[in-house]
Chain A
Amino acid sequence: MKRAGATLLVTVACVALLAPFLAPNPPERRFQNLLYAPPTRVYIRQGGFRAPYIYEWRMVSRLERSFRESRVRPVPLRWFSDGRFVTAEPDAGAPLLLLGADAYGRDVFARVVYGSRLSLALAAVAAMLALIVGAVIGAVAGYAGGRLDDLLSRVSEFVLVLPSMYVALALRAVMPLVLPPSTVFVMLALIFALFGWPIVARGVRAIIASERQREYTTAARAAGAGPIRVLRQLIPAARGYLTVQGSLLIPAFILAEATMSYVGLGFPDTTATWGTMLQDAANVTLIVDAPWILAPAVGIFAVVLAVNLIVQGTGRAPVQLEK
């Protein structure tokens, strides 16, 4: 299971890294007459087998979002051309839309693979930060107990009580109007880490506080170990919690990026991210007609699954309990 999870995660990471290569079309390219177009069907048979080819989608009605395949001319697929793994012949006017097109006629597959970079990188960095800060603070609070524990717990509540939207809006006001993506990335990572650490800290605190009373801790203290050394013994008890919480923070941050974007603290509109793609998909009747716009949710699901499969490796129930 662990290996399956690791493989999946590595695959996702590779897809993200190789996005410009894997995407058949640029993610911002709009195909005027292909709004909400369904995925292009790839054929490999015409009489006998031949190289894969597609047909052009002709729009029947823009309002009804209906298309039909124009069988006039089969458009062959080109491999390793134009810096891309596979793409359709550029002049044929029939783009290869593996997952159809969105509301602006942009290639959903391309946007999902390009979007994975920003979304995953941001979520991973922010989750890392939140986990580290939260673990340290939580461990210190749980171990020290008494006044320090009180203080740190209350600090975490102060942070929790700050509504993130207000902070974001206030930040928006003081920032310049047009922000470079790197600034946005750093800012969002910091904001997410800021709002993410308290929940990590509380769980870690609870675990450490209970571990602290265990025999091995008192034994270590009796043997003269300093607090840091004892803490290092205790933290592995929280490892399972940290991994699960991390696996929960990642999708939360991917989705939270869309909320920040709503307030104006997101990446420029043309940039594809999983969160904003899902936010734009908020019209339910549209989803019924064009389910491919939910592709980013599948991406998030894959990441969540992968992380959980890896995480599950630790702490398996003993064999005697299974039948």
Chain B
Amino acid sequence: MTVSRSRYLGAVITATLLVAGFLWWRSSSPSNSLGSNARVVPRRGGQLVASLRSDPRSFNRYVARDFTTDVVTLLTQDRLVRVNRSTFELEPRLAERWESSADGRTHTIHLRRGLAWSDGSPFSAADVLFSFDAVFDRRMESILASGLMVGGRPIRATSPDADTVVISFAGPSGPGIRLLDNLPIIPRHKLQPALAAGTLAKAWDTRTPPADLAGMGAFVLREYQPGQRLVLDRNPHYWRHAEGGTALPYLDRLVLEIVPDQNAELLRLQARAIDMTQDALRPEDFVAARRAEQQGALTMVELGVALDADAFWFCLKPDAKKTDPRFAFVQKPQFRQAISHAVDREEFAQTVFLGEAVPVWGPITSGNRQWFDPNVPRYPPDADKARGLLKEIGLEDRNGNGVVEDATGTEARFAVITQRGVSAYERGTTVLRERAARIGIALDIVPLEFGAMIQKMLASDYEAIYMKPISTDLDPAGNMDFWLSSGSAHIWNLEQKIPATEWEKRIDTLMLEQAASTDDRRRHELFNDVQRILAENLPVLYFAAPRTYSAHSTRVINVTPSVLRPPFLWNADLLAVTGVTNQPRASAP
């Protein structure tokens, strides 16, 4: 019994394996490889599936700033004007045209006529005024309010008639009308009662039935399945039309799948279960994506050089480091300059980003075309010069153990905290540590869990950090928290009452001036000065910014890529898919 049965079973197993192998081989080459999509005309219809990492915290953009909420708002709400994320030009949206006063403090905005909300109610200037009221409402405590202040005072809006809004600033503003890209317009007819009752901050949370939501955006939320997906349908009252006259959006339905794991997300993309992701590809995934592209499953898109680079800085808060003998030499710029000279940025780009990166010496990368200054002082790799700089401030290896000390014998040894689990950080800190060791600075890398790291950073309870601070705006006037010494994002020395150093004081002055200047050339001059000062004093070191790529399924056409997140969905009303017939799907009631 046993012998023949095991033989039989052995045969069954072998057969199963063969069949499985055969099926695998068959399915790894997709049967429908499409040719070039370059000249396919976008048509109305079809469904697109995009992936996101997490659930939305709310449907109320005025109180939640997480990425998913932001994406949903981009899809369902619209603004008066928009900064095109591909060309960085200002575009009219709900506003049709505008005139500005000579001093740039008053702007008369003419809204488009005859627009309607997604539920059919008419749109008018009253909604715009309502939005301004809501964002500055005390009880609301909206997170968007700070982005709409000029000269420390809220932007004021009045409306002489139903189609005109007059915006006035309390002082001159560099960004000007571009600030209005920060304000999604919300419906007065739905939310006025909540504002009056003071409960607007709690309105439109994720339990809200989709029928209670309304927006001017291209899509309408149809359903939210927590933990799984958001389903959005075309907004039948959307105001925008394509150049040929077709009513936008092209897509009938847009599904946002929630996929927490990045590896699984990539697998789904390759299997064409989803059409696009919201993150750039990691360098280690490029090859897999290219292979999929060659097989006709994906289209790879270059998004440009990333806007933010990984940064390395020491805690430079005097109060926190009073008793630390190392602070005496850490706070000297030569110390940081030496480290900058020690790192070979080409090697960094090769190791950390597998060659797909450009060296950077400041927080503004070449991806930010409008504000990047190529003349920022650079630090070519030069270990001898680095050691010379250290010697200049009294750091030498007196006892031959490979680590430099100062005259009192205090070693230049630091614990660098970083976020655990990010491969770019792991590789970056490895390179940094080795290069610093060559000039005698010992760095112990301590990867921490995200919450733990943030807590230490905010409490200034760290020696050095390696991570990527995210800038919130391309325009430096939108990042004042980073540049101003009193800012909450002035990472090396948070929220100073008075500037700790001369150069920080100088940067404060220059930044305030450039934020208030309406002369574009002057703003650039001032900001270039700021970048130069930062690069000379190096409170933060930057090494390389990756060239970012993303990939989407070949069935998606009419894509406008952007280096900002989300790379494709920011212009979702123009997205279309191939293979649609002219029969429109039954849309949502």
A positions within 8 Å CB-CB of B = 30, 32, 35, 62-65, 103-104, 169, 172-173, 177-178, 262-264, 268-269, 282-286, 289, 323
Contact = CB atoms under 8 A, between A and B. Distances in A.
B266 interface: yes
Given A104-B351, A269-B445, 16 more contacts: A32-B350, A35-B351, A35-B354, A62-B355, A64-B290, A103-B427, A172-B449, A178-B415, A262-B420, A262-B449, A269-B447, A282-B263, A283-B284, A284-B267, A285-B287, A289-B287
B475 interface: no
Given A32-B347, A35-B354, A173 B452 contact: yes
Contacts of A284: 263, 267
Interface residues of B, number: 36
Interface in B351-390: 351, 354-356
Among B1, B284, B347, B427, find the residue whose CB has the most chain A CB atoms closer than 10 A. Answer: B284
Contacts of A103: 284, 423, 427
Task: List the 10 closest A-B pairs by CB distance, nearest first.
Answer: A285-B288, A62-B355, A62-B354, A323-B2, A63-B354, A64-B287, A177-B415, A264-B448, A178-B444, A177-B446
6 contacts: A64-B290, A103-B284, A172-B448, A264-B420, A283-B284, A323-B1
A323 B445 CA distance: 61
A203 to B, nearest CB: 30
Interface in B396-452: 415, 417, 420-421, 423, 426-427, 430, 434, 444-449, 452
B350 A285 contact: no
A262 B263 contact: no
B427 A104 contact: yes
Interface in B45-63: none
Nearest to A286: B284
Label chain A's interface by main secondary structure: loop
Contacts of A172: 448-449, 452
B430 A262 contact: no
A32 B351 contact: yes
A130 B434 CA distance: 40
Contacts of A64: 287, 290
B401 to A, nearest CB: 17
A289 B347 CA distance: 24
B324 interface: no
A262 B266 CA distance: 22
A30 B350 CA distance: 13
B161 interface: no
B6 to A, nearest CB: 11
Nearest to B347: A32
B285 interface: yes
Nearest to A263: B449
B286 interface: yes
Given A173-B452, A269-B445, A104 B430 contact: yes
Contact of B287 (A35, A65, A263, A264): A65
A284 B261 CA distance: 12
Contacts of A263: 420, 449
A48 to B, nearest CB: 40
Contacts of A169: 449, 452
Contacts of B351: 32, 35, 104
A322 B15 CA distance: 28
Nearest to B426: A269
Contacts of A173: 452
Nearest to A323: B2
B287 A177 contact: no
A264 B356 CA distance: 30
A173 B287 CA distance: 39
Contacts of B499: none
A295 to B, nearest CB: 18
Nearest to B285: A285
A264 B355 contact: no
B154 interface: no
B176 interface: no
Nearest to B286: A63
Contacts of B263: 282-284
Nearest to B429: A269
Interface string B274-289: 0000000001111110
Contacts of A285: 266-267, 270, 285, 287-288
A226 to B, nearest CB: 48
Contacts of B356: 63
A59 to B, nearest CB: 10
A283 B2 CA distance: 42
A285 B268 CA distance: 12
Contacts of B266: 285
Contacts of B420: 262-264
A104 B415 CA distance: 21
A104 B426 CA distance: 10
A283 to B, nearest CB: 6
A176 to B, nearest CB: 9
A138 to B, nearest CB: 34
A35 B286 CA distance: 15
A284 B421 CA distance: 16
Interface string B232-273: 000000000000000000000000000000010011001000
B8 to A, nearest CB: 15
Among A62, A64, A269, find the residue whose CB has the most chain B CB atoms closer than 10 A. Answer: A269
A323 B423 CA distance: 55
